[in-house]
A = this chain, B = another copy of it.
Amino acid sequence: MTMTAPLAPTTTSPDVAGSALADELAAGLPAGAVLTDPDVVASMSRDQAAWAPHGRPAAVVRATCTADVVHVVRTCLRHGVPVVARGAGTGLSGGANAVEGCVVVSLERMDRVLEINPLEQLAVVQPGVVNDDLRAAVAEHDLWYPPDPASSPWSTIGGNVATNAGGLCCVKYGVTRDYVLQLEVVTGRGEVVRLGRRTAKGVAGYDLMGLVVGSEGTLGIVTEVTVRLRPLPAPAVTVAGFFSSVVAAGAAVRAVGEAGLVPSALELVDRHCLRAVDEWKNMGLSTEAEVVLLGRFDEPGELGEGLAEQMVACFRAAGATWAERSTDEAEAEALFAARRLAYPALERLGPVLTEDVCVPKEQVPEMLARIERTAVRRGVVIANIAHAGDGNLHPLLVTPPGDVEARARAEAAFDDIIADALALGGTVTGEHGVGLLKRDGLTAELSAEVLAMHRAVKAALDPAHLLNPGKVFS
């Protein structure tokens, strides 16, 4: 993993307040929208990828509307200054990290739900709407926005679009891309364009909307999102299984796939995570198992119960030390809460380097075995949470604060895991995005010709290389 990125901060501080750039930015924006206070600017200069480098922004603009974003982009075009968009800053790959001397555009203030349309089953939102807030708003109309990254209490829809965020529901319901109908985007030329459509179907021209989803702010800044909704599903039936090893749990995941079951979630949490959650929230989980698998079905009534029983059978056949369909809703909720709390619980122990590989389902047991061997070989604590049902693993490499040698070992393990995922036919990033942490991995995953296509598309749509330069690929 190369951390000597061109974005690493220099030693001198840019003197921006009172500069021509700051003056021109302020001239076209509401009072207080341009922030240059060093502490404030520093707090907006990175996301949650603890180990990714970042530069210092020349200024931060808190946009209130699309016109604000256009003004920033056009001003920066004139000055040749990069623009880095950010939402809540919950990213895990450094995608929102500041480029030295850039202007950071925060979209958090653009947080209005503009429309909820039950007949068309869609909602129109500004990019700063928090994922859980959108879910709550549409639930009042018995509607559901499925994409549910673990960051859903904090992350914004704009950030979810930028990274094509996934989550627990993906195994049945797909990712953010599958729920975006239309985007309003400010391009690197400072133009406002609408991509996609409001209709259920449409093939008028290239799928430029899909191209922007997951492009991590490098092809445009999303200023409005029209999302597809679904009817609220039936209350879920939960299955829990305890296993004596991650490899046994991986075999159970495979058995579920071989049985043709499509759960609405199938999550893996290992003892490192359970213990960290216990130490934080005292939930008493980690004494039960080395690894827990949590499955859910949201088919109504007996149908869901029958599917849950089939999953219990798969778990047991794969060697679960205990497996049951939960009849206690509070208990089931606690198990899923533990899964969601795993990442922040581990962060309390020290810097966490988050992996995000995705492998074919048949390779889940082998990938988990290789991760265990890597942990032993490199002498690194690697906790595992995983959207196991679609082969999306999140090994979490935890190091003691300030331990430089441990960090070096963790970085080596990070690279080992990427190499193993690629060797098993997987991808270096299932849902977190490339950002800075996976740039080398992207180069390893894609052919030279495909990388050249990326560069050609970037140059075609952002010819000034204004938007989030150096992210995804260099």
Contacts and interface: CB of A to CB of B under 8 A. Distances in A.
Contact of A203 (B171, B200, B432): B432
Contacts of A442: 204-205
Contacts of A454: 205-206, 208
A426 B390 CA distance: 35
A262 interface: yes
Contact of A204 (B170, B178, B434): B434
A200 B170 contact: yes
Q: Is the interface of A mostly helix, strand, loop or mixed?
A: loop
A156 interface: no
A260 B203 contact: no
A449 B191 CA distance: 7
Contacts of A170: 200-201
Contacts of A217: none
Interface string A183-199: 00001010111110111
A77 to B, nearest CB: 15
A142 B198 CA distance: 34
Interface in A159-179: 163-164, 166, 170-171, 174-175, 177-178
A235 to B, nearest CB: 15
Interface in A230-254: 230-231, 254
Given A119-B362, A254-B119, A360-B120, A204 B428 contact: yes
Max count, chain B CB within 10 A of own CB: residue among A201, A303, A442, A449: A201
A460 interface: yes
Contacts of A30: none
B214 A207 contact: yes
A426 B201 CA distance: 9
Given A200-B170, A258-B119, A205 B432 contact: no
A267 to B, nearest CB: 14
B211 A118 contact: no
A233 to B, nearest CB: 11
B450 A194 contact: yes
B260 A231 contact: yes
Contacts of A420: none
27 contacts: A118-B258, A118-B260, A119-B362, A120-B360, A120-B362, A174-B178, A177-B207, A177-B210, A178-B178, A187-B449, A187-B453, A193-B449, A198-B425, A199-B360, A201-B358, A204-B441, A205-B450, A205-B454, A206-B214, A206-B457, A207-B210, A208-B450, A208-B454, A210-B210, A453-B461, A457-B460, A459-B460
Interface of A: 118-121, 142, 163-164, 166, 170-171, 174-175, 177-178, 187, 189, 191-195, 197-208, 210-211, 213-215, 219, 230-231, 254, 257-258, 260, 262, 300-301, 303, 358-362, 387, 390-392, 425-434, 438, 441-442, 445-447, 449-451, 453-454, 456-457, 459-461, 472-473
Nearest 5 CB-CB pairings of A with B: A200-B390, A460-B460, A456-B460, A202-B427, A210-B210
